Chain A
Amino acid sequence: AQSVTQPDIHITVSEGASLELRCNYSYGATPYLFWYVQSPGQGLQLLLKYFSGDTLVQGIKGFEAEFKRSQSSFNLRKPSVHWSDAAEYFCAVGVTGRRALTFGSGTRLQVQP
C-alpha cells in the first residue's frame, strides 16, 4: 500500500524567508501527488498537483513543488513566505485503481514577523 511521510511536524520561518516542506512517498509506480493547505478552522484547499509531465509544478499563492522520482519526494517550496501562509500543509498521494487519497501527517507552518 502507498504511504506518505512528512518528516517535519512543525516549522517556523521568518516572513520573507524561503520555505521548503518535505514530502516523501512510498509506492511502486508513479503516484499522483497533491499538496493541500488547511488554515485554522477551515477545510482543505488544493495548492497544487502532479499527475505527469513537467516535474516542477506551479500552484496557487506562489507555491511550487518538484517531483523527484529518484528520491520519492514531492517537496513544496515558496521563495518568500507571507504571514498569511501560516497554516497546516498536507501532502497526499493517489494511485491508479484506488479512488481515495492517502494523506501525510501534516506540517504546521508558523511565520514570525
Chain B
Amino acid sequence: EPEVTQTPSHQVTQMGQEVILRCVPISNHLYFYWYRQILGQKVEFLVSFYNNEISEKSEIFDDQFSVERPDGSNFTLKIRSTKLEDSAMYFCASKILQGPGELFFGEGSRLTVL
C-alpha cells in the first residue's frame, strides 16, 4: 500500500541552526501538508501546498519556515533558525483530490532543539 515517508525520524539540533525535514508524498497525490504536534498537545496545521505554491498557511508558519518541492517527489519543510519552541513532531500529509478528501500522514519527524 502506498504511504507517505518522512526523514529523518528524529533530529536533534542546536538553537539557531537550520533544519530541513523531508517528505515523500504518495506519488499520485496533488496536495501536500505539514502539521506539527508539540509533545502532549494537539495536531496543528502549518501549511498546505498545491501546484508548486503555498495554498494556505497558519499563523504558526512565519518567516522562519519555508516549504519546497524541489524535484517532483520530495516535499521539504525548512526551519531557518530553530528555536526551543520548535521542538515538536512534524507530520507530512498528502491528499489526492481537492476538497474534503482523506489526508494520508507520514509517521512524523521528531525535532528536538537544544
Contacts and interface: CB of A to CB of B under 8 A. Distances in A.
Interface in A84-107: 90, 92, 94-96, 98-106
A43 interface: yes
Interface of B: 4, 31, 33, 35, 41-45, 48, 50, 55-56, 58, 91, 93, 98-100, 102-108
Contact of B45 (A32, A34, A102): A102
A103 B42 contact: yes
Contact of B105 (A44, A51, A105): A44
Given A43-B106, A90-B42, 20 more contacts: A32-B100, A43-B4, A43-B108, A44-B93, A46-B102, A46-B104, A49-B102, A51-B100, A90-B43, A92-B43, A95-B100, A96-B99, A99-B55, A99-B98, A100-B45, A100-B48, A103-B35, A103-B43, A104-B42, A105-B42
Interface in A67-94: 90, 92, 94
A106 B98 CA distance: 26
Given A44-B105, A99-B55, A100-B56, A94 B45 contact: no
Interface residues of A, number: 24
Given A42-B107, A44-B91, A99 B48 contact: yes
A102 B41 CA distance: 14
Interface of A: 32, 34, 36, 42-46, 49, 51, 90, 92, 94-96, 98-106
The 9 closest A-B pairs by CB, nearest first: A32-B100, A43-B107, A44-B105, A103-B43, A105-B42, A94-B100, A43-B105, A100-B45, A99-B48
